[in-house]
Amino acid sequence: MNNEFPIVDPSAVVELLSAPPPDPARLVSVLAKAAEGKGLDLAEAACLMRAAGTEMHEAILAEARRVKELIYGRRVVLFAPLYLSSHCRNDCLYCGFRSSNHSQERHRLSLEEIRAETRALVAQGHRRVLVVAGDDGSPLRYLMDAIRTVYDEKGPTGEIRRINVNVAAMGVDGYRELKSAGIGTYQLFQETYHPRTYAAMHPVGPKSDYAYHLSAMGRAIEGGIEDVGLGVLYGLGEWRFETLSMLQHAFHLESRFGFGPHTVSVPRLEPADGSPLSSQPPSEVSDPDFLRIIAVLRLTLPYAGIILSTRETAHVRRQGLEIGVSQISAGSRTNPGGYATHQGAEQFSLGDTRTLDEVVADLVGIGHVPSFCTGCYRKGRTGHDFMDLAKPGTIQHFCLPNALTSFQEYLTQAASPTTRALGETAIESELSKIESRNVRERTRHGVEQARAGAMDLYV
């Protein structure tokens, strides 16, 4: 293990990926193990990434589809990002908010503006947000006040019930304070696990410290945050190396703390004003390779939520949902104030600009169950407890009832008439598929309550 960066070992990753493509018998063996839904080791994941040829590629995607169905069913969790500031101390070459981009007008939301953003998101029907704070030099107190403001904003059609956070790396004490604010998942993307590429992409600012950034998840868990989310910005480095390194990071967390990441995110580099590099990715990832990434992550970490943002087109998002993605953003804006005032430059270009209502209708049309559930975190199903339920698939006993009641709440409070009609037909169909009579009737009762106007029902 590399002594300077002990969490990942780049040389071990390179060695695993340098072996020849697996023969059909080896691939069949690995996929047979993956079919059990208990995950794969690093060498087996590397095998799937080295597999060549259309037939092998399709076999991997088909198995990922089965495992996703086994663990997550057809549920899709929905959320929206809430950007607090476009100021930044870092000069990441791929980002529109980079400090050297002097063409961009910067803005940091006031607490009143955060309230307005929250009201707009709740009116759309959102119940969970990802607060994106970046690294603009604001004191931690600003972030804490922002989180409190979002949670405190309650309206006649509901409120935000879970805040996940994507904010710059900090010390254990900072994470401990962040935990006290009642956050859900803490996200921090490594962007690239390749040390030299990382140094080239992050020339200025606190984020330029590779080791400090890489070790942040360990400090977050030490600070009491049990749900953490990893991510790679695909397009900066070779996709096989980045994916296997992220898996190595996940295994490190599980070995050290007893549980792996709650989520993994797979954003691809998109054009951003003021970032020439973003329009010409150093290591562009094709759509087939991108689907392979999602499939390998699903088979290797079957318990983890895989997040796909609105960077991707609707077509790619539909494909990703079939083979492994379980959470998507919808109706997103990546500029501070984007929901209430629609002003200011965005961090990057969006591939899917549909409204939340349009996304929900599309999900129903292709056989998915939109979920606005926030029950697990509020019931303490995090960290070890979540893994104990997610790994064997037992989590579905909670997730489907909660998905259906939260979906009905959305339909009652925020959906268009057309989407509501589609959604309620889909809910009836899903209720009929619940085998346990007790669970089916309890869920039906919750749906009927939500249809009558009740809110925040979950088990």
pLDDT at 1: 35
pLDDT score of 281 more than 80: yes
| Section 263-292 average pLDDT | 96
pLDDT tens by residue, 58-82: 999 999 999 999 988 999 999 999 9
- For tokens 């303490």, the residue is 380
Q: In 10 A of CB 289, how many CB atoms?
A: 15
pLDDT score of 2 more than 50: no
Q: What is the DSSP string of 28-92?
A: HHHHHHHTTTS---HHHHHHHHH--SHHHHHHHHHHHHHHHHHHHTTEEEEEEEEE-B---S---
pLDDT at 341: 86
Closest CA to 293 of 267, 326, 330: 267
In contact, 325 and 317? CB cutoff 8 Å? yes
pLDDT at 4: 44
pLDDT at 278: 93
313-323 core/surface letters (b: 16 or more CB in 10 A; e: else): eeebbbbbbbb
In whole angstroms, what separates CA 18 from the centre of its chain? 30
pLDDT score of 323 more than 70: yes
pLDDT score of 299 more than 90: yes
pLDDT tens by residue, 26-57: 999 999 999 999 999 999 999 999 999 999 99
396 vs 398, higher pLDDT: 398
pLDDT score of 397 more than 80: no
What is the band of 349 on the pLDDT scale with cuts at 50, 70, 90? confident
Residues 6+ apart with CB under 8 A from 19: 46, 50
pLDDT score of 202 more than 60: yes
Which of 17-21, 100-104, 164-168, 441-445 is predicted with the least confidence, judged by mean pLDDT? 100-104
Strand bridging mode 186-187 / 228-231: parallel
Which H or E run includes 141? helix 140-152
What is the band of 347 on the pLDDT scale with cuts at 50, 70, 90? confident
pLDDT score of 12 more than 50: yes
pLDDT score of 114 more than 80: yes
* pLDDT averaged over every residue in the chain: 93
Which H or E run includes 387? helix 383-390
pLDDT at 419: 98
134 vs 452, higher pLDDT: 452
pLDDT tens by residue, 353-382: 999 999 999 999 999 999 999 877 666 656
What is the band of 391 on the pLDDT scale with cuts at 50, 70, 90? low
pLDDT at 134: 82
The Cα 332–Cα 339 span in angstroms is: 8
pTM, two decimals, is 0.94
